[in-house]
Amino acid sequence: MAAVALLVSPAVVRLGGSSSDVPFPQAQKPRTYVFIVNPEGGSGKTLKRWKAMKPLLQRSLGEEVTVREALTEYPFHAAELAREAVEQGADAVVAVGGDGTLHEVVNGFFSNGQPVIPRAALVRQEGAEQQRGSEGEEQQSEAGRECSDDDKPRGTERNGCEGTHAVSRRPALGVIPLGTGSDFARTFGWRSDDANAAVARIARGHRQAIDVGRVQLRDCGVDQCFVNVADVHLSARVGRAAVPLKSSFGSLCYAIATLKAFPKHRNLDLSIRIDNGPWQTLPAATMLAIGNANFFGGGMRICPQASPSSGSFNVVTLSGFRLLDFVQRGWRLFAGSHIGVKGVESYSAKLIEIKVAAAEGDSKEVSQEVYVQGDGEALGHLPAVFQILPGAIDILV
């Protein structure tokens, strides 16, 4: 794994002081924030904007925070860098760029749907387990009563009733939106052109637990997480077509990509199952959006009822749509007023399974035509399983 380039605040470098061996009482542990930047994002504009805001960020965070910078070098490198930062005990890992960079950073927090645990926490956990195992049955019998919630000090975790162990706060996710779409940031009202607000938000350090989506594509060997919107069929095909257009057309790339993608698209019957219920047919499916947040495609409010802290997805399906329908009703997708329009359905789900309906013939061959993407990143094709992970990550707000 490539080494992380370090950029340490000058104030933090001054480590001299008293030579006394007696530590200050209750000294606060220095915090570390890792900023992961895609230097190629926005045709190089992301890196320039990041360099411009970095001095203000370092001043705002102050002496108690060590700032580290990591530049990505290849696809999914941001996930590797984020995982390394989490394992090393970073207090926050900040995605600097667009939704693609954010998607990778979020995936650095998880492995097969489970949170990555800092190494120091693993060592403490193993030590606690060994200690409990050596105490024997005699001490267990003395502590045979159950601990009530009132027995648990705030910010601590009881291990039986024998003692308390401080809980290490899990690393937080930060977002500095500097990308083409930056759709996830829109749900929170964060603008990509307001560097001062982004710096203030990171420096403030307030946290909010939000949900994370997990997507598994069996035939593609994919098991990834997403934090914004995952989508299936036409919109995922459009997303693929938009990639080479972003540098030249900016947010207009999605409209142009729709025109390019439609000739190769055909509506298909899909089978879906919600929360382990019965399988149902979605006839002539044009696209499906599985929203943890509201926006995708450069500002379309596709999942207007989604909330990142709700514990469930807002699933929106479009059926029987033609190109003319998008021309006539496309404005509704941006306004979020498309729910209830003919061919549009919306519902809540914690688990959704999607596959090509048997009526479409060779479902395996047809499945390869039905693309899936997460946070605007191409992931593979059907069949797919989407699962909500409630409150799985803390985000700096």
For 314, other C-beta atoms within 10 Å of its C-beta total 23
> What are the tokens at 386?
């989407």
Say how far apart CA 1 and CA 87 lie, in whole Å.
Answer: 14
99 is catalytic: yes
> What are the tokens at 216?
């598994």
Active-site residue among 21, 91, 99, 394?
A: 99
Closest of 15, 41, 158 to residue 95, by C-alpha: 41
Give the bridge partners for 387, in sequence order.
214, 351
| Contact by Cβ (8 Å): 170, 115 | yes
Q: How many CA atoms lie within 13 A of 83 on its CB side?
A: 17
Closest of 300, 299, 298 to residue 316, by C-alpha: 300
Say how far apart CA 311 and CA 149 lie, in whole Å.
Answer: 24
Give the bridge partners for 353, in sequence order.
273, 385
Tell which phi-psi region holds residue 50, choosing left (phi > 0), alpha (psi between -120 and 50) or beta.
Answer: alpha
Cα-based torsion angle of the residue sequence 231, 232, 234, 238 in order, rounded to the nearest 10 degrees: 50
Closest of 126, 176, 180, 182 to residue 294, by C-alpha: 182
| Contact by Cβ (8 Å): 101, 95 | yes
Return the active site residues: 99
